[in-house]
């Protein structure tokens, strides 16, 4: 039950972070948003390290750095999709892909959730597909244009969860430290090679810092949840984050929700309940 609670809270925080990240990419270049938000996240995890148990072993840092590379690639693609597409479509499309990888990996490596939990997993995957449906004429073209970036971003996020879960027990939050070091270095190098500015747009810095701090808080919640539950269940619960992104987009940006999306939100709640009951 603790793992389910942590994973569900993680999804809410991830969705809120993605909302702020999407807003930031409409005011600044994608690489600037990623580097600055990741730097804010690094500062947060450094501040948390003295208060959370864990040892900085080479194995823990290596798995974290590998996860950081995968996550950074996913984040660049995801933010680009958010900047060019519709937020309430991009986020769930990405989540569907990111949910599939941890579930498949967990089952392939011997995890065997109870039947009720598996039913919740199936319902959750249906939920993110339903939430992603937006057939309005005004948004259809933008959705198609960002589809590939959304799918690739989801693969990067799914890889991040799988790789981070391979860190040894007792590593604490040190894998997240390694993940942030590698992701910041990778994106900064990419910006240097492509000669892209890392200067934030006017009025965007606070939004970027908020997105980065929330993203790291969600990462911490994921690590805590994964340490206490099955990756195949935690991963799919975390993937429900588009529900909070969608609701924020609805009430802040006034993006409209159709009946199918509302049904998807209902399925999201039912999926959490089924997994929690297992």
- Each residue's pLDDT expressed in tens, for the chain with a length of 278 residues: 788 899 999 999 988 998 898 888 888 888 888 889 999 999 999 999 988 888 889 999 999 999 999 988 887 787 778 777 776 667 667 777 887 888 888 888 888 888 888 888 888 878 877 776 655 544 444 445 567 888 888 899 899 999 999 999 888 899 999 999 999 999 889 888 888 888 888 888 999 999 999 999 999 999 999 988 888 888 888 888 877 877 888 788 777 777 887 888 788 878 878 877 75
- Has this prediction a pTM greater than 0.85? no
- Helix-strand-coil percent breakdown of the chain, rounded to 5? 80, 0, 20
d(CA 179, CA 160): 9
Separation in Å, CA 278 to CA 79, 99, 106, 115, 118: 35, 19, 17, 8, 9
Neighbour-count burial of 137, counting CB atoms closer than 10 A to its CB (0-12 exposed, 13-18 middle, 19+ buried): exposed
- List all residues 6 or more positions away from 237 whose beta carbon is below 8 Å from its beta carbon: 4, 7, 8, 10, 11, 124, 225, 271, 272, 275
- List all residues 6 or more positions away from 243 whose beta carbon is below 8 Å from its beta carbon: 11, 15, 127, 131, 264, 265, 268
- List all residues 6 or more positions away from 250 whose beta carbon is below 8 Å from its beta carbon: 88, 256, 257
């Amino acid at each position: 039950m603790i793992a389910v609670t942590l994973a569900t809270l993680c999804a809410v925080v991830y969705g809120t972070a993605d909302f702020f990240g999407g807003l930031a990419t409409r005011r600044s270049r994608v690489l600037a948003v990623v580097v600055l938000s990741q730097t804010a996240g690094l500062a947060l995890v450094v501040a948390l390290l003295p208060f959370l148990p864990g040892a900085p072993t080479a194995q823990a840092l290596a798995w974290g750095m590998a996860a950081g590379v995968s996550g950074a690639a996913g984040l660049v693609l995801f933010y680009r999709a958010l900047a060019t597409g519709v937020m309430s479509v991009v986020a769930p499309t990405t989540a569907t892909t990111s949910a599939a990888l941890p579930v498949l990996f967990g089952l392939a490596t011997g995890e065997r959730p109870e039947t009720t939990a598996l039913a919740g997993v199936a319902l959750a995957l249906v939920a993110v597909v339903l939430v992603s449906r937006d057939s309005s004429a005004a948004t259809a073209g933008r959705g198609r244009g960002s589809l590939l970036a959304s799918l690739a971003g989801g693969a990067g996020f799914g890889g991040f969860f799988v790789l981070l879960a391979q860190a040894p027990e007792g590593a604490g939050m040190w894998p997240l430290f390694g993940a942030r070091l590698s992701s910041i270095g990778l994106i900064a190098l990419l910006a240097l090679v492509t000669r892209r500015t890392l200067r934030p747009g006017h009025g965007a810095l606070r939004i970027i810092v908020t997105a980065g701090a929330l993203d790291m808080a969600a990462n911490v919640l994921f690590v805590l949840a994964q340490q206490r539950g099955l990756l195949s269940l935690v991963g799919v619960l975390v993937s429900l984050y588009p529900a909070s992104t969608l609701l924020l987009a609805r009430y802040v940006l006034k993006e409209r929700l159709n009946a199918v999306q509302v049904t998807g939100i209902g399925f999201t709640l039912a999926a959490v309940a089924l997994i929690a009951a297992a």
